[in-house]
Amino acid sequence: MASQDIPKVMKQPRLGRKTDERKTASQNVPKIMRQGNLAPWLYLLPALLVMSFFIVYPMINTVALSFSNKDGTVSAATTCIAGNPCWGVFENYRYALTSEFDFSSPVSFWNTFWKSSFGNNIKWMFLMTAGTVGIGLAFAVLADRVKYEPLAKAVIFMPMAVSFVGAGIIWKFVYDYGTRQVQIGLLNSIITAFGGDPVAWLSTPGLNTLMLIVVGIWIWTGFCMTILSASLKSVPDEILEAARVDGASEWTVFWRIMVPIITPTILVVITTMVINVLKLFDIVYVMTGGNFGTNVIANRMYTEMYKNFNAGRGTAVAVILVLAIIPFIYYNIKRFLAQEAMR
């Protein structure tokens, strides 16, 4: 019993000393500088007011408009048409989720799905994310081994310095389709110079989405390379040297040592690219305007809001877009907090 009481007796003086030190420190602070529990909130108040006015209120208003008709005066249930499916107050969401699809047969639904804005966003999500992360990782590994590493990385990163609108205009000239005699588009000029036929890159369904994805990869690869290169430099040289001494090839070193170590960074880059793809707008709007089967969710939202002047349907598409992005944002925040807890 005596041995069990010893720790309790020893802890009490330590806690008492800490309390006394805090009291003494607070007494030494001039009265005018002492802050109560309300003071931190007063410092945050201006930022909270700004965020409430520019973020919280627009968000609430957007959700409210998504349940209204096109001018926000009455419920969306009043827009239902007799004899057609109706979701009542959720009618705008029914339109946003189903209007692009043909439900007459499974084959028709499958074909229309991949031509819809949702299908195009999925194409962008997989192809652009895989392209930017894969090529960015390859550039990160190779750039670390060249003599002029900073220059090489600067050249690869340079497209990020160009605005997305500017990049869209540049690549629209590259893909331009003229006549057989005159080709001002760089790509078709090269093709016709070798005796080939020009291709309508931006107006051929299926092909045009792939060409737009190439532009997205061109822009974002430098960003992925920079993040992944910084992560690769954190891999201990001792581990790499030990693996090479043991006879491991460079391919084995890369896949068995480098990639597992930087996997958390790769996942963060992937989720960041997915978020960028889901809210993609500029490239599609500038290069095709969403025509020829290239529409994406954000472009469709813009069309409903500012071309069809239907605020209800436009905000419903916007809410769906936000709901699609939230899981990836949550994953990034959760991983960040987990990493901070480990430090």
Q: What is the DSSP string of 87-118?
A: -GGGHHHHHHHHTT---SSHHHHHHHHHHSHH
Do the domain assignments include residue 340?
A: no
Question: Which residues form the domain of 150?
Answer: 100-309
Q: What CATH number has the domain bearing residue 158?
A: 1.10.3720.10
One-letter amino acid of 193: A
Confidence (pLDDT) at 17: 57
> Which residues, given as ranges, of the chain have pLDDT below 70?
1-36, 179-181, 343
Do the domain assignments include residue 339?
A: no
Do the domain assignments include residue 21?
A: no
Q: How far lies 277's CA from each of 88, 115, 244, in Å?
A: 31, 17, 39
SS3 content of the chain, % helix, strand, coil (to 5): 75, 0, 25
Tokens of residue 334, six digits: 């959760």
Do the domain assignments include residue 214?
A: yes
What is the domain count for the chain? 1
Strands (DSSP E) along the chain, which ranges?
A: none
Cβ pair 184, 198 in contact under 8 A? no
Cβ pair 117, 280 in contact under 8 A? no
Do the domain assignments include residue 35?
A: no
What is the number of other CB atoms lying within 10 angstroms of the CB of residue 50? Answer: 10
Confidence (pLDDT) at 25: 54
Helices (H), 233-258: 237-245, 250-253
Do the domain assignments include residue 272?
A: yes
b/e string for 107-137 if b means 16 or more Cβ within 10 A?
A: eeeeeeeebbbbbbbebbbebbbebbbebbb
pTM: 0.82
Confidence (pLDDT) at 11: 45
Do the domain assignments include residue 141?
A: yes
DSSP code of 181?
S
Residue given tokens 């460079």 in the structure block: 250
Q: How far lies 328's CA from each of 147, 257, 320, in Å?
A: 38, 27, 14
Per-residue pLDDT tens for 84-118? 888 888 999 999 999 899 888 999 999 999 999 99
Give dist(CA 88, CA 78) in Å, integer. Answer: 8
Confidence (pLDDT) at 78: 87
Do the domain assignments include residue 328?
A: no
Give dist(CA 51, CA 10) in Å, integer. Answer: 49
Torsion of CA 298, 300, 305, 311, to 10 degrees: -100
b/e string for 284-300 if b means 16 or more Cβ within 10 A?
A: bbbbbebebbbbbbbbb
Give dist(CA 95, CA 304) in Å, integer. Answer: 11
